[in-house]
């Protein structure tokens, strides 16, 4: 358990605003390690203070998640979840308002659109083990290239 404290102490998180004017890095305990402001940040006026706070809070969420990720590698997911429950600080990835990301179907539809295929040409989702075997037999690894 002494290793857990070391792991949490080594956790860090960095966040920046969309315009790249403010960037903050904090440790797992919330200590501000680095604050960077672009020269243009002076033009934000009264919005600068709240923006710095918002970015620091986002960095803290990132540091918290980093700490839990490190602890989970040591103790396993179940024990890490118990620590989250005991501390009252759930992992940011478990937040109810966290964006769950894109579904497989949505990804395939967008990919088909991007490649110029008609919607009917988009691959159907795999629904059974037999379909999955057929899918992998015809799978083209070149489709994983990042430039597509």
108 and 82 in a single domain? The answer is: no
70 and 12 in a single domain? The answer is: yes
3-state DSSP assignment of residue 97: coil
105 vs 125, more confident: 105
85 and 126 in a single domain? The answer is: no
pTM above 0.85, yes or no: no
**104-117: b (≥16 Cβ within 10 Å) or e:** eeeeebeebeeeee
Asked, for residue 16, whether it belongs to a domain, the answer is yes
Domain that holds residue 71: 2-94
77 and 133 in a single domain? The answer is: no
Q: In total, how many domains does the chain have?
A: 2
Asked, for residue 49, whether it belongs to a domain, the answer is yes
Residue 148 has what pLDDT? Answer: 41
Integer Cα distance of 101 and 46 in angstroms: 33
33 and 75 in a single domain? The answer is: yes
Residue 80 has what pLDDT? Answer: 83
82 and 28 in a single domain? The answer is: yes
Asked, for residue 58, whether it belongs to a domain, the answer is yes
90 and 134 in a single domain? The answer is: no
Listed range (35-49, 102-116, 133-147) with the worst mean pLDDT: 133-147
């Amino acid at each position: 358990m002494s290793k857990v404290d070391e792991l949490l102490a080594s956790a860090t998180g960095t966040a920046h605003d969309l315009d790249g004017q403010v960037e903050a890095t904090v440790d797992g305990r919330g200590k501000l390690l680095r604050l960077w402001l672009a020269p243009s940040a002076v033009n934000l006026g009264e919005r600068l203070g709240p923006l710095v706070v918002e970015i620091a809070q986002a960095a803290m969420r990132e540091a918290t998640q980093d700490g839990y990720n490190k602890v989970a590698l040591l103790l396993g997911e179940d024990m890490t979840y118990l620590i989250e429950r005991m501390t009252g600080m759930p992992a940011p990835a478990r937040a109810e308002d966290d964006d769950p990301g894109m579904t497989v179907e949505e990804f395939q539809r967008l990919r088909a659109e991007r490649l110029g295929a008609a919607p009917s040409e988009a691959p159907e989702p795999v629904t059974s083990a037999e379909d999955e075997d057929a899918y992998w037999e015809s799978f083209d690894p070149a489709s994983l290239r990042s430039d597509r």
